[in-house]
Copies of this chain bind each other. A is one copy, B any other.
Amino acid sequence: MATLGLIEYQDASPDVRAVYDDIMATRQTDWINNFWKSIAHDPATLRRTWESVKQVMAPGALDPLTKEMVYLAISASNQCGYCIASHTAAARKAGMTNQQFAELMAVVGMANETNRLVSGYQVEIDERFRTP
């Protein structure tokens, strides 16, 4: 029930196709998932979002698997069903094992718990944690 529907490759304008082509080439895959087909109704957002994701998720000081797991962790914390499904798949493709997934979720859960204990108890920042 995507709000504006999905734009399939064969129905896409040249600029949308160019992004689709780059997504498939970068990800070494032969299909486009619904997220991109949904936002393709706004070619500027499609291009901007893809270029940003490509830059942010490229290998750097953090390796691709770590980045995918962080993306999945945030999506789980935000409770975004689509994002959890798609980034679980992406993290697995990048090598995430079941045990890594399980430990990742354990950290996500624990962080969400202590974040609220901190706020509820109105804990003040220790001087040692303040940046000089």
Contact B116 A105 (CB under 8 A): yes
What's the Cα separation between A126 and B81 when bound, in Å?
A: 11
Chain B residues near A83 (CB, 8 Å)?
Answer: 111, 114-115, 118
Those of A83-108 within 8 Å (CB) of chain B: 83-89, 97-108
| Distance of A111 from chain B, by nearest CB (Å) | 4
Residue of B nearest to A45 (CB): B106
Contact B3 A62 (CB under 8 A): no
Given A42-B102, A74-B74, A104-B62, A116-B125 contact (CB < 8 Å):
no
Chain B residues near A48 (CB, 8 Å)?
Answer: 51-52, 55-56
What's the Cα separation between A41 and B98 when bound, in Å?
A: 8
Answer yes or no: A1 CB below 8 A from chain B CBs: yes
Chain B residues near A125 (CB, 8 Å)?
Answer: 34, 81-82, 85-86
A: residues with CB less than 8 A from B are 1-5, 31, 33-35, 38-39, 41-42, 44-45, 48-49, 51-53, 55-57, 60-62, 66-67, 69-89, 97-126, 128-131
